[in-house]
Amino acid sequence: MTVTDLHDLKPMYLAVDPGKATGLAWMYEGAWDSLIITGRTEAREELRAAMNAHGEPCWRLIIIAEKWQVRKDTYSKSAQDDPWRLLGWLEGEALDRGIEYHEQTPHQMKVFIHEGVKNSYRKVRKVGWYKPGEGHDNDASGHLLTHLVKIPAGRHLLEKLV
């Protein structure tokens, strides 16, 4: 399969919020879901399964990952090596497999999603993607939504946000 062939396939978008607990959110042909995975090994296995299916039989994977930044407020929130190792592995695997890979900062997502009200997930709620709980899956959904509204494949979501 050539790169040109891959671009003719339907995209599956997968967003990753890395950490000791990793949030994943995905959308394929308008269907969305999310989940939380605990543990670096478990997250890597789930991501590997998605990457193994890239190009087969009718879709191509596009990954949107949170760009992990160590700051004094994040230092106490997560084992610092978990996000770094997971993201380094993920980016390397994506590049080796020809999978489109994007990063965005937590700030980019939060400014768009929360609409000025901390941890409100307003826009995630407006599109019906909010799940009560820890929030890692909601953060992944926020990264997914922030990416999708910038591209033609996600324009339909803008109607739900007004």
Q: Which residues contact 98 (CB under 8 A, 6 or more apart)?
A: 3, 6, 54
pLDDT at 117: 84
Is the entire prediction scored with pTM above 0.95? no
| Residue type, position 21, single letter | A
- Other Cβ atoms closer than 10 A to 54: 21
What the block records as the tokens of 6 is 């891959």
Residues of the chain with pLDDT under 50: none
Contact between 97 and 52 under an 8 Å Cβ cutoff? The reply is no
Q: What is residue 60's three-state secondary structure?
A: strand
pLDDT at 121: 93
Q: Report which secondary-structure segment, H or E, holds 20.
A: none
**How far apart are the C-alpha atoms of 109 and 140, rounded to whole Å?**
9
**How far apart are the C-alpha atoms of 89 and 6, rounded to whole Å?**
22
